A and B are shown apart, each in its own frame.
Chain A
Amino acid sequence: MTDLRKEDRDRAGETAAAGGVAQPHDEGGHARHLAPHEQVDRATTGVPSDPAAFVGGSGQGDMALVYESGVELEARSQWGYAARRFLRHRLAMGGLMGMLFIFFVAIFANKIAPYPFDELDFNALRIGPTTEGKHYFGTDLLGRDFFSRVVYGLRTSVWVALFVTLLATVIGTTIGAIAGYFGGWVDNLLMRLTDLVLTLPLLAVLLVASIYLGQGKPFRVALILAALFWTGIARIVRGTFLSLREKEFVEAAKASGAGDARIIIRHMLPNAVGPIIVTATLIVAGAILTEAALSFLGFGIQPPNPALGQLINDGQSEGLKFWWMVTFPGIIIVFIALCINFIGDGLRDALDPTQRRLRD
Chain B
Amino acid sequence: MLTYIIRRVLYSIPVLFAASFLIFAFVAIASDPLQFLRMQPRISQETLNKIVEREHLEEPIPVRYFYWLEEAVTNKFGSTLIGDRPIWPDLVRVMGNTAQLVIAAELIALLLAIFIGVYSAVRQYSAFDYSFTTVSFLGIATPVFWLALMLQVLVVNIFLNYDIRIFYISNLSSADPDNFLLDRIQHLALPVIVLAVASVAQYSRYMRAAMLEVVNSDYVRTARAKGLSERTVIMKHAFRNALIPLATVVALNLGTVLGGAVVTETVFSLDGMGRYFIRNLVEGDPYPVMAWLMITSVLIVFFNLVADVVYGYLDPRVRYD
Task: Name 27 A/B residue pairs within 8 A (Cβ), A-sorted.
Answer: A196-B18, A199-B19, A200-B293, A203-B262, A204-B262, A204-B296, A207-B277, A208-B23, A208-B289, A212-B26, A212-B27, A212-B30, A293-B145, A297-B266, A309-B143, A312-B149, A315-B149, A316-B267, A320-B149, A320-B153, A326-B146, A327-B150, A334-B141, A337-B141, A358-B212, A359-B212, A360-B124
What's the minimum C-beta distance from B199 to chain A, rounded to whole angstroms? 15
Q: Which 6 A-B pairs have the closest CB atoms?
A: A212-B30, A337-B141, A330-B146, A338-B141, A358-B212, A320-B156
Kindly state the separation between the CA atoms of A316 and B145 in the bound complex, as whole angstroms.
10
- Residues on A with C-beta less than 8 A from B143 are 289, 292-293, 296, 309, 330, 333-334, 337
Does A104 touch B at the CB level, under 8 Å?
no
Which of B16, B150, B209 meets A326, CB within 8 Å? B150
> Which residue of chain B has its CB nearest to the CB of A290?
B143
- Residues on B with C-beta less than 8 A from A84 are none
Which of A203, A320, A360 meets B208, CB within 8 Å? A360
Is the beta-carbon distance between B153 and A341 smaller than 8 angstroms?
no
Per-residue 0/1 for A120-148: is the Cβ within 8 Å of any B Cβ (1 yes, 0 no)?
00000000000000000000000000000
Counting chain B CB atoms within 10 Å of each CB, the highest count among A199, A289, A312, A330 belongs to: A199
Does A186 touch B at the CB level, under 8 Å?
no
What's the minimum C-beta distance from B81 to chain A, rounded to whole angstroms? 16
Per-residue 0/1 for A285-305: is the Cβ within 8 Å of any B Cβ (1 yes, 0 no)?
100010011001100000000
Does A111 touch B at the CB level, under 8 Å?
no
- Residues on B with C-beta less than 8 A from A203 are 262-263
Kindly state the separation between the CA atoms of A207 and B300 in the bound complex, as whole angstroms.
18
Query: Is chain A's binding surface mostly helix, strand, loop or mixed?
Result: helix
Is the beta-carbon distance between A312 and B146 smaller than 8 angstroms?
yes
Query: Is chain B's binding surface mostly helix, strand, loop or mixed?
Result: helix
- For A, the interface residue count at a CB cutoff of 8 angstroms equals 41
- Residues on A with C-beta less than 8 A from B27 are 208, 212
Kindly state the separation between the CA atoms of A297 and B278 in the bound complex, as whole angstroms.
9
Kindly state the separation between the CA atoms of A338 and B277 in the bound complex, as whole angstroms.
31
If A199-B16, A212-B27, A289-B141 are given as contacts, then 11 extra A-B residue pairs at C-beta distance below 8 Å, sorted by A number, are A201-B259, A207-B278, A208-B23, A297-B145, A297-B278, A326-B153, A330-B149, A334-B143, A338-B141, A341-B141, A360-B209
Is the beta-carbon distance between B140 and A312 smaller than 8 angstroms?
no
Name the interface residues of B276-298: CB closer than 8 Å to any CB of A. Answer: 277-278, 281-282, 289, 292-293, 296-297
What's the minimum C-beta distance from B191 to chain A, rounded to whole angstroms? 15
Is the beta-carbon distance between A338 and B138 smaller than 8 angstroms?
yes
- Residues on A with C-beta less than 8 A from B289 are 208
What's the minimum C-beta distance from B122 to chain A, rounded to whole angstroms? 14
Per-residue 0/1 for B193-234: is the Cβ within 8 Å of any A Cβ (1 yes, 0 no)?
000000000000000110011000000000000000000000
Does A217 touch B at the CB level, under 8 Å?
no
Is the beta-carbon distance between B144 and A199 smaller than 8 angstroms?
no
- Residues on A with C-beta less than 8 A from B281 are 207-208, 211
> Which residue of chain B has its CB nearest to the CB of A298?
B282
Kindly state the separation between the CA atoms of A323 and B152 in the bound complex, as whole angstroms.
10
What's the minimum C-beta distance from A356 to chain B, rounded to whole angstroms? 11
Is the beta-carbon distance between B19 and A297 smaller than 8 angstroms?
no
